[in-house]
Structure 1
Amino acid sequence: MRRAAAFLALLLCLYWTGAQGESGGLAGNDVTQIEIQSEILGVKSTSDQTNITPDIWAELKELRDMAIEHSVELRNSKSKMEKLEQENTAIQTRLTASESKNAVLESKMTDSENVVKELQSENTELESKINASENVVKELQRENTESRYFQYTPFQASLGFHNGPQHLNIPRMNASENEVEELKRQIADRPKVAFSLGLTDSGTIGPFNTDTTLKFSKVFTNFGQAYSPTTGLFTAPVRGAYYFSFTLLDGRSNTWRDVFLYHNDKRVLWSQNYSANGYESVSNSLVVQLEKGDVFYLVLYAGDSVFDDTNDRTTFNGFLLFPL
């Protein structure tokens, strides 16, 4: 740019010199001054002005081309920025939706945990009643043995015993024994159904072109043999309330991971999350009522993958809470 300005100034000086020549010439001092200016500008004066003009236009054309090139680059940069902003907005929208779904799933998990705690409390209460009944029977048996030789205590009298073995309250003792036996029979007859599984030791599974039923091949426990590692299906042996939970790990980065829980042919749960750094898990659980013969299983979404190894990073668990 400075060279162009220098050339333009020189051209003006030459033009002014030509004009002075036509009007009668220049003084000696004026010629010297022009030569000094030419040396300062780094350009040799010449009487042929046409040799300088093309250089000036070439410089101007080069400047114009540079200006056009910068303009095109600025437009391309602006277009890229707009595209990145659109992608960022889309990602933020999906993250917001994922956070909402996670909040709903956390609420469901809390409800399931409350149900499990309530059932555990009922089971504890039932065991307490059984223990109390057993203690009563033992006490009655002991008192029956000692009744032939000792007077009955106030406790024995409150249970209906009277002095003398001929007045022993046998029907009441038999009723307590029958109650204990009935409770024991109920516990013994309750189906024993529970399983805990790992997926594989082979590393990454998938992605697949279609939704795929996950077959957990590592069986830690499978009481009742209700889960089939061959088909990946859990088949309910009795009508009842069942609890299920799972955890799936994926090693990919900048991708979504999705997994479904199916009851027969109906999807009952869809869990997903987005991973920016890879090796993140998605987990969930629920309590569901199943009829005898119903099937329950996990399905991996098409295009997704899952990871497991000897550390058992991907698991599937379930058990019968109580029959109905």
Structure 2
Amino acid sequence: MMSDTKLAVSNFADMFVDMREKITDEKLKRGDEEETFKTSFEETRKNLTSDIEAEKEKLFQLQGKLEQPPIAFYAHLLKGMLLDTSNEVLKFEKTFTNEGSGYDTSTGLFTAPVGGLYQFSVHTCARQDNFAYLGLVLEDNVIASDSNYGDKSHGCNTFGAIIRVRSGEKVWVKSTSSASNRQLYHDFYRMNTFSGVLVSY
């Protein structure tokens, strides 16, 4: 009888030990799962926070761009002009449009108030029996050029470029070939103009 009781007690003790080990294993397993969940959650939270901050920065930049005034100018050369001076800058003396105040009539230079993609256009007329060789210049580099001859009448041409300009860079029109038979013509029907507009940032 005592032997049976000892056996029962031993079996119960073994069962208790097994049970405790199982409970301990389960706790450890749950603890690992909980730790894994916490780690995963923290990584996700950090990534989301980083993404949100990046999107906020993009929105702030976009807001700043939307608040920028439009940049555009349209200038007119009021008289005929003899192109007998090497690399002479054409000074278009009157502006019909000068949004952003980038064009300076006293120098003939357009200074980009902001960086971006700009479109420039030059329309000029050569006096009859004269030539006009002109270039559109960005920071001393000719980016577009034109040759024109007033054959039997005063001939007009248009040329231009679309180019990225950094803030503070200058754009102008100059003569690329100078001589006594190089001359622009102006009258009521023929206007020499220089224009530019910011297309996108």
Q: TM-score, normalised by structure 2?
A: 0.63
Determine the structure 2 residue equivalent to 1:231.
107
Deviations 1:2-55 (A, max 9, x none): xxxxxxxxxxxxxxxxxxxxxxxxxxxxxxxxxxxxxxxxxxxxxxxxxxxxxx
Determine the structure 2 residue equivalent to 1:321.
199
Determine the structure 2 residue equivalent to 1:190.
68
- Equivalent residue runs for 1:249-260 within 5 Å: 249-253=125-129, 255-260=130-135
Counterpart of 1:225, as a letter, is S
Which structure is higher in strand share?
Answer: 2
User: Structure 1 residue 277 and structure 2 residue 155: aligned?
Assistant: no
Counterpart of 2:195, as a letter, is N
Shift of 1:312: 5.6
Shift of 1:269: 1.4
Gaps of 5+ in 1: 1-180
Which structure is higher in helix share?
Answer: 1
User: Distance between the aligned counterparts of 2:159 and 2:153, measured in 1?
Assistant: 19
Counterpart of 1:294, as a letter, is E
**Does structure 2 conserve the Cα–Cα contact (< 8 Å) formed by 1:247 and 1:284?**
yes
SS of the residue aligned with 2:122? Answer: strand
Taking every aligned residue pair, what percent have the same amino acid on both sides? 25
Structure 1 residue runs of 4+, over 3 Å off? Answer: 181-188, 309-312
User: Distance between the aligned counterparts of 1:248 and 1:193, measured in 2?
Assistant: 23
286, 308, 311: which one pairs with 2:161? Answer: 286
Gaps of 5+ in 2: 1-58
Shift of 1:256: 3.1
Point out the structure with max Rg over C-alpha.
1
Shift of 1:270: 1.5
- Equivalent residue runs for 1:1-324 within 5 Å: 185=63, 188-200=66-78, 202=79, 204-253=80-129, 255-300=130-175, 301-303=177-179, 304-311=182-189, 313-323=191-201
User: Distance between the aligned counterparts of 2:163 and 2:60, measured in 1?
Assistant: 28
Determine the structure 2 residue equivalent to 1:9.
none
Q: 1:207 to 1:183 in 2, by over 3 A?
A: closer
Shift of 1:310: 4.6
**Does structure 1 conserve the Cα–Cα contact (< 8 Å) formed by 2:144 and 2:160?**
no
Shift of 1:277: 1.2
SS of the residue aligned with 1:212? Answer: coil
| CA RMSD after TM alignment | 2.4
Deviations 1:263-298 (A, max 9, x none): 111111111133321300121121011111110000
Q: TM-score, normalised by structure 1?
A: 0.40
User: Distance between the aligned counterparts of 2:171 and 2:184, measured in 1?
Assistant: 19
